[in-house]
Homo-oligomer: A and B are copies of this chain.
Amino acid sequence: MQRKIYLQMHSREEAQQLFWSRFAPHSTGEETIASRMALGRVTAGPVSARFSSPSFHSAAMDGLAVRAEDTFGATDETPVTLRFDFGEAVLINTGYPLPPEKNAVIMIENVLLSEDGKEGLIRAPVYPWQHVRKVGEDIVATELLFPTGHQLRPPDIGALITGGCATIRVRKRPKVVIIPTGSELVTLEDSPDAIPPGKTIESNAIVLAGLAAQAGVEVEITPIISDDFDSIKTHLAAVLATEADLVIINAGSSAGSADYTVRIIEQLGEVLVHGITIMPGKPTILGAIADKPVVGIPGYPVSAIIAMEQLVVPLLAHMQGVYVAPPVAIKAILAKDLPSRSGIEEFRRMIVGRIGANFVAVPLKQGAGAITTLTRANGILCIAAASEGEMHGREVTIELLVPQPQVERTLLCTGSHDLCLDVLGDYLRKQDPAYPLASTHVGSLGGIMALKQGMCHLAGSHLLDPKDGSYNTTYIRKHLAGRDIRIVTLVHREQGFIVAKGNPKNITGVRDLFGAGIRFINRQAGSGTRVLLDYELSRHDLDPDGIDGYQQDEYTHMAVAVAVLSGKVDVGLGIKSAARALGLDFVPLVEERYDLLIPGEMFDTPMMQAVLAVIDTPLFKQTVEGMGGYSTRETGHLVPLD
Contact of A159 with B369 in the complex, beta carbons under 8 Å: no
When A137-B369, A149-B429, A213-B39 are in contact, do A323 and B161 touch as well, CB less than 8 Å?
no
Size band of the interface chain A makes with B: 35 or more
Taking a contact as CB atoms closer than 8 A, the residue among B46, B207, B321, B433 that contacts A433 in the complex is B321
Contact of A372 with B197 in the complex, beta carbons under 8 Å: no
Of A6-14, A94-102, A386-394, A605-613, the one touching chain B: A94-102
Q: Within 8 Å of chain B (Cβ to Cβ): is A254?
A: yes
Contact residues in B for A561 (Cβ distance below 8 Å): 140
Contact of A3 with B430 in the complex, beta carbons under 8 Å: no
Contact of A140 with B62 in the complex, beta carbons under 8 Å: no
Kindly identify, within residues 39 to 68 of chain A, every residue whose CB is under 8 Å from any CB belonging to chain B.
39, 46, 51-57, 60, 62
Q: Within 8 Å of chain B (Cβ to Cβ): is A83?
A: no
Contact residues in B for A301 (Cβ distance below 8 Å): 155, 158, 162
Taking a contact as CB atoms closer than 8 A, the residue among B62, B138, B409 that contacts A371 in the complex is B138
Of A128-136, A231-239, A273-281, A442-450, the one touching chain B: A128-136
Taking a contact as CB atoms closer than 8 A, the residue among B146, B188, B198, B322 that contacts A96 in the complex is B198
Contact with B along A1-21 (1 / 0, CB 8 A): 101000000000000000000
A592 to B94, CA, bound (A): 42
Contact of B258 with A162 in the complex, beta carbons under 8 Å: no
Contact residues in B for A54 (Cβ distance below 8 Å): 200, 369
Q: How far is the CB of A463 from chain B (nearest CB, A)?
A: 25
Of A240-248, A330-338, A398-406, the one touching chain B: A398-406
Contact of B198 with A562 in the complex, beta carbons under 8 Å: no
When A214-B154, A426-B147 are in contact, do A140 and B558 touch as well, CB less than 8 Å?
yes
Contact residues in B for A642 (Cβ distance below 8 Å): none
Contact of A210 with B372 in the complex, beta carbons under 8 Å: no
Contact residues in B for A96 (Cβ distance below 8 Å): 184, 198
Q: Within 8 Å of chain B (Cβ to Cβ): is A142?
A: yes
Contact of B57 with A566 in the complex, beta carbons under 8 Å: yes
Q: Which of A51, A375, A558 has the most CB of B within 10 A?
A: A375
When A136-B559, A325-B404, A562-B136 are in contact, do A433 and B210 touch as well, CB less than 8 Å?
no
Contact residues in B for A156 (Cβ distance below 8 Å): 375
Kindly identify, within residues 51 to 97 of chain A, every residue whose CB is under 8 Å from any CB belonging to chain B.
51-57, 60, 62, 91, 93-97
Contact of B372 with A256 in the complex, beta carbons under 8 Å: no
Contact of B139 with A426 in the complex, beta carbons under 8 Å: no
Taking a contact as CB atoms closer than 8 A, the residue among B140, B164, B375 that contacts A145 in the complex is B375
Taking a contact as CB atoms closer than 8 A, the residue among B134, B143, B162, B198 that contacts A201 in the complex is B162
Q: How far is the CB of A32 from chain B (nearest CB, A)?
A: 14
Q: Within 8 Å of chain B (Cβ to Cβ): is A498?
A: no
Q: Within 8 Å of chain B (Cβ to Cβ): is A203?
A: yes
Contact of A434 with B323 in the complex, beta carbons under 8 Å: yes
Q: How far is the CB of A329 from chain B (nearest CB, A)?
A: 10
Q: How far is the CB of A49 from chain B (nearest CB, A)?
A: 9
Chain A interface (Cβ within 8 Å of chain B)? 1, 3, 36, 39, 46, 51-57, 60, 62, 91, 93-97, 108, 128, 133-150, 153-159, 161-162, 164, 166, 182, 184, 188-189, 192, 194-195, 197-204, 206-211, 213-214, 254-258, 299, 301, 305, 321-323, 325-326, 328, 367, 369-372, 374-375, 402-406, 409, 422, 425-430, 432-434, 436-437, 552, 558-559, 561-563, 565-566, 568, 581-582
Between-chain CB contacts (< 8 Å), 9 pairs: A62-B254, A95-B182, A95-B299, A144-B425, A157-B207, A158-B374, A159-B203, A159-B375, A325-B403
